Amino acid sequence: MIEPGADAPDFSLPNQDGDEVALADFAGRKLVLAFYPLDFSPVCTDQLSLYQEVLGEIEAKGASLVGISVDSKYAHRAFREQLGLTMPLLADFNPKGEVSRAYGAWVEKADRGNRSLVLVEDRVVRWSYAAPSPAEIPGANLIFDALAG
């Protein structure tokens, strides 16, 4: 997992609508990257639904939140619609997992992203967390603690 104090790896990924979203788009704001394995899996559904519930509070603290997985923009669009999500979902699709790997949010054996959170501000990693198990959802309290720190 990427360590606090590291330069945040640059990225530009398509969102659910095919629009490119880059790290530079969040200049002057705190950005929470929520890495997750796959759209439509039960635990990922719970994870993203939880973050949607508190998204307004995250934004009130001056932060943006985006989800990142290896799913395509098409899967992301359907997943957002099914769950009523408003946060952008970025497709780390091609090359598969390149951004997830750069942030240390990748499980090689499983060939998928890990459940991880990274707080970036001014292009620097301020905080990071990797779930010890794929079944464990990083709670919203972790995000709020990081934003308060």
The catalytic residue positions are 44
Name the H helices within 1-148. 42-53, 55-60, 73-83, 98-102, 140-148
Contacts of 108 (CB under 8 A, 6+ apart): none
Q: Please give the Cα distance from 105 to 91 (Å, whole number).
A: 14
3 state DSSP class of 86? coil
> Any bridge partners for residue 67, and if so which?
34, 89
Q: Please give the Cα distance from 29 to 89 (Å, whole number).
A: 18
Distance of CA 122 to the CA centre of its chain: 17
